[in-house]
């Protein structure tokens, strides 16, 4: 009986052990399946999203008039770069919305727009081929980026805005693939305008301390620009904008043979800019924009836009004050009084050009002591760091030479 009872206990033990082992196995299998699902699901979702994005881009390009045969076999790099495309119908404004800059607009029309839209007129003579690149340089806020956008809209060409974030990648080799995809995609959808805003940040002058990713990216970009995809018959033009042209790599400057200076507007240009900005604003009959323009030397296009905004706030504040004094809601109305010359001149007295403000502040600081509060603080900080570094080095030398020897004197 004892042995039989022992055999019965042993059988139950085996059964319990097998049940526990089976439960543990099922639990581990369930956890593994869940982990695999959570790991693979985002990849599947990303793949589905990428396919949907690719289909949307292809459909949009076909709608824009690109042949479906040219869009077959798009690589993942080309799809990624295609996210930076801006279609002409999505660009707001145009050449008519840019006040002044008549000479600059005419040069862009002759050198860029006509060759892109009428390539048949430029075939048969190598001298008539349009420049492969054009550089717009000048002070900030003068309308360089607006000119490039208006150029693409006026010519109904694809506008590819290239930024460092669209090229640089943490994965080895991706940057070169993305750089090549810029020109391969542009060749598929030509005519195309490749726009490099703040080109000095992306293609600054090379030095021995450059990271190999930057160096390889620049070399790849220039090789492709030189003719691998940009042949004489292709309609791909690179437009760069900068307010620091001296920082652009000389090899890049050579590939931008046409340079246009977009300078601060003169009096007549300021009048045209003000007219363009205020075209949808109700003006007083006595408005004298010429007097306002004469009182605004050194103002850029963006400064004049801010000037008009601040001037328009004057009748807005008056209206709000009137409404706060009025009890009856019927006295409220959505219209403002017309903008007057006095409003504009008041804004001129309060709004200074951005570059002038910084220069005046810097000169003010330089007049204080040995260069102003910030300069003094900076010098004090540098002296403190120099003394701390000296003490650290002297202590290290003393430890190295032994406790019984004195460190060398200055």
Instruction: Describe the strand order of the beta sheet including 133-137 as a list of residue ranges.
Output: 85-86, 158-162, 192-197, 236-242, 133-137, 258-261
- Supply the pLDDT for residue 322: 83
Contact (CB, 8 A) for 98 and 221: no
Residues 36, 39, 43, 49: what is their CA dihedral angle, to the nearest 10 degrees? 110
- Supply the pLDDT for residue 89: 84
- Supply the pLDDT for residue 408: 44
Phi (first) and psi of residue 204, to 5 degrees: -70, 170
E strand or H helix that includes residue 371: none
Can you tell me the distance from the alpha carbon of 360 to that of 339, in angstroms, rounded to the nearest whole number? 30
Q: Which residue has the tokens 């959570």?
A: 38
Can you tell me the distance from the alpha carbon of 241 to that of 132, in angstroms, rounded to the nearest whole number? 15
Phi (first) and psi of residue 234, to 5 degrees: -75, 155
Closest CA to 68 of 57, 77, 79: 57
Q: Which two tokens stand for residue 186?
A: 């542009």
Task: From first to last of the 410 residues of the chain, give the pLDDT tens digit.
Answer: 444 444 455 777 877 788 888 888 888 888 888 888 777 766 666 677 777 777 888 888 888 778 888 888 888 888 888 888 888 888 887 888 888 888 888 888 888 888 888 878 877 777 777 788 899 999 988 889 889 888 888 888 888 888 888 888 777 788 888 989 999 998 888 888 899 988 988 888 887 777 778 888 888 888 888 875 556 667 888 999 999 999 898 989 888 888 999 999 999 999 999 999 998 889 989 999 999 999 999 899 999 999 999 999 999 998 888 888 775 555 556 678 899 999 999 999 988 887 777 777 777 778 775 444 444 444 445 566 666 666 665 565 555 555 444 444 44
Radius of gyration of the chain (CA): 34
Contact (CB, 8 A) for 178 and 81: yes
Q: Which two tokens stand for residue 259?
A: 């340079």
- Supply the pLDDT for residue 410: 43
Q: Which residue has the tokens 């004049």?
A: 304
- Supply the pLDDT for residue 329: 54
- Supply the pLDDT for residue 273: 92
Same fold, 77-261 and 274-366: no
**Given this structure, which CATH class describes domain 274-366?**
mainly alpha
Kindly list the distances between the CA atom of residue 378 and the CA atoms of 359, 360, 366, 392, 395, in Å, as whole numbers in the listed order.
Answer: 19, 20, 13, 21, 26
Whether the ω angle into residue 191 lies within 30 degrees of 0, i.e. cis, is: yes
**Given this structure, which CATH class describes domain 77-261?**
alpha beta
Q: Which residue has the tokens 């200076």?
A: 261
Contact (CB, 8 A) for 285 and 337: no
Q: 76's torsion region: left (phi>0), alpha (psi -120 to 50) or beta?
A: alpha
Domain ranges of the chain: 1-63, 77-261, 274-366, 376-410
């Amino acid at each position: 009986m004892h042995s039989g009872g022992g055999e019965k206990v042993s059988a139950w033990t085996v059964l319990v052990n097998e049940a526990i082992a089976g439960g543990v196995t099922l639990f581990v299998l369930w956890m593994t399946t869940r982990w695999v699902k959570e790991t693979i699901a985002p990849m599947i979702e990303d793949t589905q999203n990428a396919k949907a994005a690719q289909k949307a881009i292809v459909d949009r390009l076909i709608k824009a008039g690109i042949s479906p045969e040219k869009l077959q076999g798009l690589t993942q790099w080309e799809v990624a770069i295609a996210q930076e495309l801006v279609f002409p119908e999505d660009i707001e404004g145009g050449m008519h919305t840019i006040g002044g800059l008549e000479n600059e607009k005419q040069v862009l029309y002759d050198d860029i727009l006509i060759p892109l839209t009428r390539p048949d007129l430029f075939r048969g003579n190598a001298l008539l081929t349009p420049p492969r690149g054009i550089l717009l340089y000048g002070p900030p806020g003068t309308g360089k980026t607006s000119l490039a956008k208006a150029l693409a809209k006026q010519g109904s060409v694809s506008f590819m805005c290239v930024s460092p974030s669209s090229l640089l990648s943490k994965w080895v080799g991706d940057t070169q693939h993305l750089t090549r995809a810029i020109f391969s995609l542009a060749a598929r959808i030509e005519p195309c305008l490749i726009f490099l805003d703040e080109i000095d940040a992306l293609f600054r002058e090379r030095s021995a301390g450059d990271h190999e990713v930057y160096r390889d990216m620049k070399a790849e970009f220039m090789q492709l620009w030189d003719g691998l995809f940009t042949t004489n018959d292709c309609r791909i033009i690179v437009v760069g904008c900068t307010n620091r042209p001296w920082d652009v790599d000389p090899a890049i400057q050579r590939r931008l043979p046409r340079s246009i200076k977009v300078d601060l507007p003169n009096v007549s240009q300021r009048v045209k800019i003000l007219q363009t900005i205020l075209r949808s604003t109700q003006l007083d009959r006595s408005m004298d924009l010429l007097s306002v323009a004469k009182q605004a030397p050194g103002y850029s296009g963006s400064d004049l836009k801010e000037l008009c905004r601040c001037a328009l706030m004057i009748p807005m504040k008056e209206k709000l004050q009137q409404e706060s004094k009025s009890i009856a809601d019927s006295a409220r109305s959505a219209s403002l009084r017309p903008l007057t010359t006095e409003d504009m001149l008041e804004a001129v007295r309060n709004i200074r050009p951005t570059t002038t403000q910084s220069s005046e502040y810097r000169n003010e600081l330089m007049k204080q002591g040995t260069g102003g509060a910030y300069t003094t603080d900076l010098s004090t900080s540098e002296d403190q760091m120099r003394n701390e570094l000296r003490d650290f080095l002297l202590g290290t030398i003393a430890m190295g030479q032994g406790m019984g020897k004195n460190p060398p004197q200055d």
